[in-house]
Amino acid sequence: MTRADVLRTVASDLNTLVEDGTLGRWALCGGLALAVWGAPRATQDIDVLADPAEGRTTAEAAKVLARKGWILVEHARHPGDPVPELLRMTCGGIGIDILIAHRNWEAAMLEEASTVPWQGVGIPSVRVEALAAMKLRAGGPQDLVDAGRLEGLPGFDHERFAVWKKRLRIR
């Protein structure tokens, strides 16, 4: 199964969870999101930001995905961590990290997410300006390179980026 095939499966399965009321929303938010926005780079996994639907739990989402053939590797919960809750799964042999939205700014990123056409599939993705701010917040060497590449994309809204940086308390 190619990465594009896996992404199609991921999109289909997560959209099904939204439709059945298990997930509220989801959007790409990592290295593959850069490719969707036009700044491709090598990445080993697929990173997704998601929130459970009202009254549903992350564990329920993991069980539904497991019934679809996904493999749960880890369900990490670290309330004080930069990523307080994470489902680490695999689908088609590729790692899928589902970052669970707990903070208001994460929910706002999901609210603003755009569906972007990529390799014949409409993929919900965190908006490019929010993605750049998220990368700056993460602060690793590759994250900083990624943020710079996103800022250089045609149509990048620097005013919107400034709003996101302020919201995430980034100088």
The pLDDT of residue 80: 72
Give pLDDT tens digits for 104-149.
Answer: 999 999 999 999 998 888 999 999 999 999 999 999 999 999 999 9
Residue 41 clears pLDDT 90, i.e. is over it: no
Query: Which string of DSSP letters, residue by residue, matches 94-143?
Result: EEEEEEEP-SHHHHHHHHH-EEEEETTEEEEE--HHHHHHHHHHH--HHH
Across the chain, mean pLDDT equals: 92
Measured CA to CA in angstroms, residue 44 lies from 32, 71, 95, 96, 113 at distances of 9, 16, 7, 9, 23
pTM above 0.75, yes or no: yes
- Give mean pLDDT, residues 20-32: 94
Domains along the sequence of the chain with CATH? 3-127 (3.30.460.40)
